[in-house]
A = this chain, B = another copy of it.
């Protein structure tokens, strides 16, 4: 069922010019040319297109980052954890540059405490050092103390991620699972975390308000204000 670009656009929900743009940028493989100016696109293209949109819209990745990730995905030599590295690099915020000696040491101690391999040059590690540096800069030295809780929470998550990936039939599927698990996983985690936070803080506030009898306007605190 190879189709032309207009149909590809319809199926994927992506405008034709944007598809052309993605083709130019190498996010989408060229269609099969049936003549110098006529090409056919397949389901692979539809799928790839959706993946790209997921990374761009949900993951907030730049086009360059998406290209990087897809490159890793398409590389037949790429191992699972190399692909993971590439993906987390793409998802991570661009290197802020400022790094603090103390933050470095805090990160090292944390990694050691967790019994992990110390990889100071990994993207994740750099990102963590950046976070710790910033935390110190804004005067939240105690932030570092929450790291171990994060690690404990992250462990089962990583296990699920991995199980999810390993349950894939083919290697291609597994690699895509890495992408989906990371991008969607991080987004879902942020959302769920916010929900739990609100749930807890709501209980607290309720208790507090019933004590203080404040003029609680009881509208849903979660309406959009845009």
Contact present for A188 and B131 (CB under 8 Å): yes
Known: A111-B195, A130-B58. A164 touches B150 (CB 8 A): no
Among B53, B57, B182, B221, contact of A93 (Cβ-Cβ < 8 Å)? B57
Name A's B-contacting residues (CB within 8 A): 13, 47, 50-51, 53-54, 57-60, 68, 79-82, 84-86, 88-89, 91-93, 96, 98, 111, 116-117, 119, 121-125, 127-128, 130-132, 134-135, 137-140, 142-143, 146-147, 149-162, 164, 166-167, 177, 180-182, 184-202, 204-205, 220-225
Contact present for B149 and A160 (CB under 8 Å): yes
Contact present for A184 and B135 (CB under 8 Å): yes
Roughly how many angstroms separate A116 CA and B195 CA in the complex, as a whole number?
9
Contact present for A193 and B187 (CB under 8 Å): no
Contact present for A204 and B121 (CB under 8 Å): no
Known: A80-B205, A156-B152. A162 touches B222 (CB 8 A): no
Roughly how many angstroms separate A223 CA and B89 CA in the complex, as a whole number?
10
Contact present for A187 and B127 (CB under 8 Å): yes
Known: A51-B138, A188-B128, A222-B85. A204 touches B156 (CB 8 A): no
Among B68, B111, B180, B189, contact of A189 (Cβ-Cβ < 8 Å)? B189
Among B53, B167, B222, contact of A119 (Cβ-Cβ < 8 Å)? B222
Known: A150-B192, A155-B196, A158-B199. 12 other contacts (CB 8 A): A47-B138, A58-B131, A119-B198, A119-B220, A123-B194, A124-B194, A128-B192, A138-B180, A142-B167, A162-B200, A162-B201, A182-B197
Among B147, B158, B180, contact of A200 (Cβ-Cβ < 8 Å)? B158
